[in-house]
Structure 1
Amino acid sequence: MSENNNHIVPLLPLRGLLVYPTMVLHLDVGRERSVQALEQAMMDDHLIFLSTQKDMAVDQPEQDDLYQMGTLTKVKQMLKLPNGTIRVLVEGVERAEISSFVDVNPFYTVNVKSLPDDYEKNAELEAMMRTLVEYFEQYINLSKKVSNETLSTVTDIEEPGRLADIVASHLPLKLKIKQEILNTVDVKERLSRVIETINNEKEVLSLEKKIGQRVKKSMERTQKEYYLREQMKAIQKELGDKEGKTGEVSDLTERIQAANMPESVLKIAMKELDRYEKVPSTSAESSVIRNYLEWLVTIPWTEATEDDLDIHRAEEILDRDHFGLEKVKERVLEYLAVQQLSESLKGPILCLAGPPGVGKTSLARSIAESIGRKFVRVSLGGVRDESEIRGHRRTYVGAMPGRIIQGMKKATTVNPVFLLDEIDKMSNDFRGDPSAAMLEVLDPEQNNSFSDHYIEEQYDLSKVMFIATANNLATIPGPLRDRMEIITIAGYTEIEKINIAKDHLLSKQLKDHGLSKSKLQIRDDAIQEMVRYHTREAGVRGLERQLAAVCRKTAKIIVSGEKKRVIVTANNLSDFLGKRKFRYGLAETEDQIGVATGLAYTTVGGDTLQIEVSLSPGKGKLVLTGKLGDVMKESAQTAFSFVRSKATEWNIDEKFHEKFDIHIHVPEGAVPKDGPSAGITIVTALMSALTNRPIKRAIGMTGEVTLRGRVLPIGGLKEKTLSAHRAGLTTIILPKENERDIDDIPETVRNELTFIPVSHVDEVLKQALGDPL
């Protein structure tokens, strides 16, 4: 039915497809409404309107789901397929636009208006047509998907609108763009749009071709390398080289992937592996790269042990292995408690400082056991090369990582307890300062990115619990000491040594010497005799050697058949260890004139010093003997000047320094003595000699003096007090400022002594000599 280019025809919605005028193609129709529309068209004049759906996912499209512009087509043929689908052959007649919907049930019937091409052929239109044909030819040459017969057909088309439609139908365009071309009614505008579109497609195809060629070249190169590798494998096999480097590379690749390295390190490792694969095995560089890769895969990057955060168990282990050392144990338990609450605390950096033999190294090992971590020890004694810490650069022959990375490799985890033994024994020379290199290792804010010259990549040390040991803090540079938490282990008291010998050392020595408690029994008085007269130390190493000597003698006695069981007491100890080796400083038996008992601190603990002063007629010469250091000589000079200032008050001849030579002597001349704590003792001894008044024998004293008589604080009060107690003294005179240190002294010792804190020498003299006359 037609009137003024209007047609009332059935509508067939298309999904994902568009038909241009003059196009002939097959369609498969399956939707019920579409089938009924086709059947109606066949009964009428075979005309049907094809309109594309805006969304192909919609199964029952509404009016708004369809484009208004479509194609009026003629149904040429219809065939029912076995699956119920109808296959139809249609031919596009002309562009048309929906004017209105006439009916919607059982299918859409629409009133469409035909839009035939309207144009006036001129030179510009001819030029556009030629350009389009030329572009289409170029497109076909690039694409290879359109046959040359199609090009011949297109070349013969004289209608510009039809030419644009045919070319557009052969282009792989998105449905939306195809619809826009269909919507373009103006012929000249349509030609321009298709020319622009085909030009873009040409550029895309040209780029695709370049990319394809590049990929092809890459594939050819890869295939060539694969072929050459296979040939190399075959040659190596024939030469009896097993699988040569290829097998190594394969093994290293697996190990690198399994090492859980950080992304940046993984890239470096794979790059070096690629180099290793290409470098000949005979080249020196090959072994350098191989060693480097071996280090990268053996260092732990993420492997960690899980901390055993049971504080009670940790406390049991520490108490089992070590007697005393309360401060260190408390610090470890505090760390565990914080870890249990936060789970993010950085590893602490502790420095156990104290004399040899007090158990610093064995304590670090016990700490590792108590928290369930691996333990690794590195000795720094004698290290004088910075490269020992930071490693050597790989350009050097025989280069390897520094001791820190070596220790981490031994530990196999990123969170071990790492012992830096003898950190105070490092020195420096022309090869650098290793203590400066340690600054980065022991800085909690920096050691998460530690740089080793050999590894080159940053390594995280922040999870490591570093424990350093030192005998003398004075030799550790200030910046390095500042990075560590210093815990001083001053040494053991006599009581502690006896307990350690009974509970730890003796059982160990019995086991080492094949003895048992039934064969050898050492009484407490014998152990005390050993501690007092056969050892002179702050620790227990010498005591352990003496116990070993007793065990050896006992083993000989038992094996020779002399006895089956040996009991060692203080009376028969000399049979095993010989005569006493050391003097045990005892107090004077009676009050003496000019003899004062001072208290000294040595590297092996505390000791008592008898400071003697004698006067002889002369010209006021001051003589100092006893191998005194500069500090003690200055103390003696200061004490002498103070005594002169007090001469009138104590009824001493003011010109005594012109009439007498004064000799100050500290016995045991072969033993070096120095330190700022003998001032008040020298003053008391001088005043006693000048006033001819005896000093109370049970008093021991320690403290430095100024010219004005102020008493200055001292160090090592605990050790000095123990030596005083051991010597039988009952009263200790100490500086007022050291009163706070009394709590550190064991209670058993504290209860048997009287402590007199003083701030001026007058108070000391009053206690030791009485009031001035």
Structure 2
Amino acid sequence: MSQLRGGGVVPRSPFPLLPLRTGALFPGTSITLPVGRSRSVALLADIKAGAIIGIVAQRDPRVEDPGREDLHDLGVFARVVDVARVANGGYRLTIEGLDRMVLTALVQHDPYWLAEGSIAPEYAGDAEEARVLAASLRERARELGPQLGSNLADVAAAKAEPGVYADLIAAALGMSTEKELQVLSELRIGPRLALVAELLNEAVHLAELKRKADADVRKELGKNQRDAILREQIRALQRQLGDGDEEDELSNLRRRLDEAGLPEEARATADRELRRLESIAPQQAEHHVIRTYLEWIADLPWTQRAPARGGEQRTQAASGPDLDAVAAKLDEDHRGLEDVKRRILEHMAVLKLAGKTRATILCLAGPPGVGKTSLGQSIADATGRPLVRISLGGVHDESELRGHRRTYVGALPGRVIHAMKKAKVKNPVVLLDEIDKLGTSYRGSPEAALLEILDPEQNKTFQDHYLELPFDLSEVLFVCTANDLSTLSAPLRDRLEIIEISGYTADEKVAIARSHLIPKHLKEHAIDPGALTITDAALGVILRDYTREAGVRQLGRELTKLCRALALEVARASDGKLPRMHVDVDDLPKYLGKARFFSEVAERTQVPGVATGLAWTPVGGDILFIETSRMPGKGRLEITGQLGDVMKESAKAALTYVRSHAEQIGVDVAQLEQEDLHIHVPAGGVPKDGPSAGVTMFTALTSLLSGRKVRSDTAMTGECTLRGRVLPVGGIKSKVLAAHRAGISRVILPQKNARDLEDVPKEVRDQLTVILVDDMSQVIAAALDATPMTPTVGGSMIDRDGLDPTGAT
């Protein structure tokens, strides 16, 4: 049998084996460790002090029942010094390392581990070199011992062979299991000494870093304690001065910032400003500036969302009821506008199916009084989101939208950030009212600022000049309103999803008055709903003779007059009986005064040279009279009525067409050279321009020169070329509705505008005769009477059958 270096004999194979979860035992050292595993407890119950066992480390400390592959190949033979029972049923074992051991096999698991192995041979190498390395390691350990603890200093004074001395130093360093096994596995004495010296230097370096970190922590703790004491003294002074509430307000502000769910960049900025705020006295002006800034950050909805009923639910089962609720809400609030409602429902359907939404920009374009603003409120109510309105009419400063930089006195965020603070959620409906009324000044263009706000690709990182932090607008549903889109720049129009609202038909206006306007005004005037009754005939007369509009705003004013008249009678009633008012056609002059509008088409077109055109204006469609006259002269053309360049060119083109087709029309060209022509468009105080009056001017001149009257029941629109081709124009729906309101029964439209008739309500199409043309010859045939009139000596026109237009002979 082989003799062990520390005394004792190598046990016969197989010998008891005790695996260690962590750490390693070195020859010449002793350790005490707790033993609790069932097999290890069974081993210690079967051996006594003085027994020789094998000690080996596990590769993975989490393995409860290790096999051969779970154990390292190199371990240590150890002598059992003491075995003591502890209270929890386990043992406390003290062992002493003797020699390195090579584990060859694990032969038994139950009741405890038995293994086979032998002493691992060490390689001495150059003895002189080993003594020099050991002396150097001893000197280094003695020098660094105080920095690493008294245990190392004691070991440094020990006298031992070089190999054993390296093991003693390694055990005293208290390294990780990996590094201890690295030293234990080194069987060459010289390299082992060099390795331990390297690990000693590394331990010293780590100890220095730890001391420095501890010193920094103690210094910071000392600073924090000092600051806490100073703050407490400041609070005491503030309480004596009557300013004790300031600290409570700062704590409340800090709590609000913590609850706001700020993004990383905003959180860092808020923390920096908070530290500045705490270091500034409340009496300083900068204190109030910083505090206002932090309160704005705390009040903004960084993460709060409104649970929208019309979207953001991806389940198929919920899609039907939600969209039905939106449709029902739109129908409840608005009569007609079916195309608008369909577009809104399509938008909400996409919003529902898409999950996480992007910024959406709807633009409701149409004349005043058609319900653009109230449509925005209906969208908000139907989707369950709050509505915030931003009026852009007259805004001419970019800072109104983007905010002022904090370098200015009294700086505040712009209207967009104000709207988000008011909404208290990050996905509201924001109504940008009168977007076409924006101005421009030397302070910048607000329309250019809208390019970022209304761009889905940019507004998720919108930066207000005051906040200077990115704020997410990508979940906002923007709804813009405008009367005239022609004033918007092309880049801004490109960002808008435009929905045109042309106006209401007479039947729709009557229905709106019955279901919305009359109940609303009666409630505002505190009148019983049954106290006022208006016949359908009276409502029709109000629409025809007292209002002329695409919307229902003026209709609402006329109904308000009726309600005020009834309110006066109710207030004067002394017998306690509530008077009732029944309004019929004959009662209207009494309450509303004389009629303000009348049909003048028949009167205007009694003589040749007057044609009725259809025009589009920012307040809806309207009829337009073009009058012509001839007089002795030299063939000149006079144009009046404050016309734009396009209409002037249309007039010249019309005269050219008439001259080039004089024979077909029945016009004497020689006589034209002896007469001057005058074209006038009434309402000269109103600027007018556009190509839509081309056909009307052609027809008016042809009527004048041929002596054939224009039919009084006919109106027309379209652009015309020199060759007489009729080109399509825009605004067909508004123009046709205007003709219907004016009592016109025949409308001449360009052939290529046939597809636009689908937008006109069916009840209007059924009451009109629409004539589609693509050449002026068709227009003349449809618009002019067949019988020409000839001028008398006095200049009045006489029918060729001998009757004048008034019927006198």
Can you list the C-alpha shifts for 1:441-474, whole angstroms capped at 9, x where unaligned?
A: 1111211111111111111111111111111212
**Deviation larger for 594-603 or 17-26:** 17-26
Could you tell me how far apart the structure 1 residues matched to 2:433 and 2:106 are? Answer: 99
Deviation of the 1:233 alpha carbon: 2.7
What SS is found at the alignment partner of 2:52?
strand
Can you list the C-alpha shifts for 1:106-125, whole angstroms capped at 9, x where unaligned?
A: 99697866979979875x55
> Which runs of structure 2 are paired with 1:369-448 in the superposition (5 Å)?
369-448=381-460
Deviation of the 1:318 alpha carbon: 1.2
Q: Does 1:212 align with 2:225?
A: no
Could you tell me how far apart the structure 2 residues matched to 1:15 and 1:134 are? Answer: 35
**Paired amino acid for 1:646:** H
Q: Is the 8 A contact 1:585 1:608 kept in 2?
A: no
**Paired amino acid for 2:647:** M
Could you tell me how far apart the structure 1 residues matched to 2:289 and 2:693 are? Answer: 62
TM-score (norm: length of structure 2): 0.84
**Deviation larger for 658-667 or 438-447:** 658-667
Out of 17, 23, 31, the position equivalent to 1:13 is 17
Change (3 A) 1:682 1:697: same
Q: Is the 8 A contact 2:78 2:95 kept in 1?
A: no
Q: Does 1:556 align with 2:568?
A: yes
Could you tell me how far apart the structure 2 residues matched to 1:351 and 1:417 are? Answer: 13
1:155 alignment counterpart? 157
2:675 alignment counterpart? 660
Q: Is the 8 A contact 1:596 1:612 kept in 2?
A: yes
Could you tell me how far apart the structure 2 residues matched to 1:552 and 1:412 are? Answer: 40
Out of 128, 131, 136, the position equivalent to 1:131 is 136
Q: Is the 8 A contact 1:765 1:771 kept in 2?
A: no
**Paired amino acid for 1:70:** V
1:522 alignment counterpart? 534
1:292 alignment counterpart? 293
What SS is found at the alignment partner of 1:377?
strand
Deviation of the 1:578 alpha carbon: 1.6
Percent of aligned positions that are identical? 43
Could you tell me how far apart the structure 2 residues matched to 1:561 and 1:520 are? Answer: 16
> Which runs of structure 2 are paired with 1:151-190 in the superposition (5 Å)?
154-155=156-157, 157=159, 159-175=161-177, 177-178=179-180, 181=183, 187-190=189-192
Could you tell me how far apart the structure 2 residues matched to 1:609 and 1:86 are? Answer: 111
Change (3 A) 1:698 1:214: closer
Could you tell me how far apart the structure 2 residues matched to 1:243 and 1:176 are? Answer: 58
Change (3 A) 1:223 1:735: same
**Deviation larger for 756-765 or 677-686:** 677-686
Can you list the C-alpha shifts for 1:69-106, whole angstroms capped at 9, x where unaligned?
A: 63475x777777898878787666x6365799999899
Can you list the C-alpha shifts for 1:712-742, whole angstroms capped at 9, x where unaligned?
A: 3233333433444444443322222222222
Could you tell me how far apart the structure 2 residues matched to 1:179 and 1:556 are? Answer: 106
Out of 342, 348, 362, the position equivalent to 2:374 is 362
Change (3 A) 1:682 1:430: closer
**Runs of 5+ consecutive residues of structure 2 not aligned to the other structure:** 311-321, 789-809
Q: Is the 8 A contact 2:645 2:689 kept in 1?
A: yes
Deviation of the 1:420 alpha carbon: 0.3
Q: Is the 8 A contact 2:152 2:173 kept in 1?
A: no
Q: Does 1:454 align with 2:463?
A: no
1:48 alignment counterpart? 52
Change (3 A) 1:132 1:486: same
Could you tell me how far apart the structure 2 residues matched to 1:82 and 1:749 are? Answer: 101
Change (3 A) 1:406 1:167: same
1:199 alignment counterpart? 201
Q: Does 1:575 align with 2:575?
A: no
Change (3 A) 1:736 1:191: closer
Deviation of the 1:62 alpha carbon: 6.5
Q: Is the 8 A contact 2:402 2:415 kept in 1?
A: yes
Q: Does 1:241 align with 2:243?
A: yes
Change (3 A) 1:342 1:129: closer
Can you list the C-alpha shifts for 1:290-335, whole angstroms capped at 9, x where unaligned?
A: 1111111111111111221212221121112112222221111112
2:231 alignment counterpart? 229
Q: Does 1:273 align with 2:274?
A: yes
**Paired amino acid for 1:745:** V
Could you tell me how far apart the structure 1 residues matched to 2:70 and 2:673 are? Answer: 129
**Paired amino acid for 1:739:** A
**Deviation larger for 603-612 or 63-72:** 63-72
**Deviation larger for 257-266 or 372-381:** 257-266
Can you list the C-alpha shifts for 1:166-216, whole angstroms capped at 9, x where unaligned?
A: 434433134565455556565545444433333332222222222222222
Change (3 A) 1:597 1:196: closer
2:305 alignment counterpart? 304
**Paired amino acid for 2:99:** R
Q: Is the 8 A contact 1:9 1:109 kept in 2?
A: no
Q: Does 1:649 align with 2:664?
A: yes
Could you tell me how far apart the structure 2 residues matched to 1:586 and 1:482 are? Answer: 40
> Which runs of structure 2 are paired with 1:486-565 in the superposition (5 Å)?
486-561=498-573, 564-565=579-580
1:332 alignment counterpart? 344
Could you tell me how far apart the structure 2 residues matched to 1:299 and 1:353 are? Answer: 31
What SS is found at the alignment partner of 2:663?
coil
Q: Is the 8 A contact 1:680 1:703 kept in 2?
A: yes
**Paired amino acid for 1:223:** Q
Deviation of the 1:606 alpha carbon: 3.9
Q: Is the 8 A contact 1:8 1:111 kept in 2?
A: no
Q: Is the 8 A contact 2:81 2:94 kept in 1?
A: yes
Can you list the C-alpha shifts for 1:407-455, whole angstroms capped at 9, x where unaligned?
A: 1111111111110011111111111111001001111121111111111
Could you tell me how far apart the structure 1 residues matched to 2:119 and 2:700 are? Answer: 134
How many residues align? The count is 761
Could you tell me how far apart the structure 1 residues matched to 2:568 and 2:490 are? Answer: 52
Could you tell me how far apart the structure 2 residues matched to 1:711 and 1:325 are? Answer: 30
Change (3 A) 1:13 1:27: farther
**Deviation larger for 613-622 or 270-279:** 613-622
**Paired amino acid for 2:475:** K
Q: Is the 8 A contact 2:749 2:771 kept in 1?
A: yes
Deviation of the 1:361 alpha carbon: 0.8
Q: Is the 8 A contact 1:391 1:399 kept in 2?
A: yes
Could you tell me how far apart the structure 1 residues matched to 2:33 and 2:580 are? Answer: 114
Change (3 A) 1:299 1:127: same
Q: Does 1:639 align with 2:664?
A: no
2:635 alignment counterpart? 620
Could you tell me how far apart the structure 2 residues matched to 1:412 and 1:147 are? Answer: 65
Q: Is the 8 A contact 1:415 1:463 kept in 2?
A: yes
Could you tell me how far apart the structure 2 residues matched to 1:47 and 1:754 are? Answer: 121
Q: Is the 8 A contact 1:272 1:289 kept in 2?
A: yes
Q: Is the 8 A contact 1:392 1:454 kept in 2?
A: yes
Change (3 A) 1:618 1:207: closer
**Deviation larger for 536-545 or 184-193:** 184-193
What SS is found at the alignment partner of 2:533?
strand
Deviation of the 1:402 alpha carbon: 0.9
Deviation of the 1:630 alpha carbon: 4.2
**Paired amino acid for 2:261:** N
Q: Does 1:688 align with 2:703?
A: yes
Q: Does 1:751 align with 2:751?
A: no
Deviation of the 1:226 alpha carbon: 2.4
1:736 alignment counterpart? 751
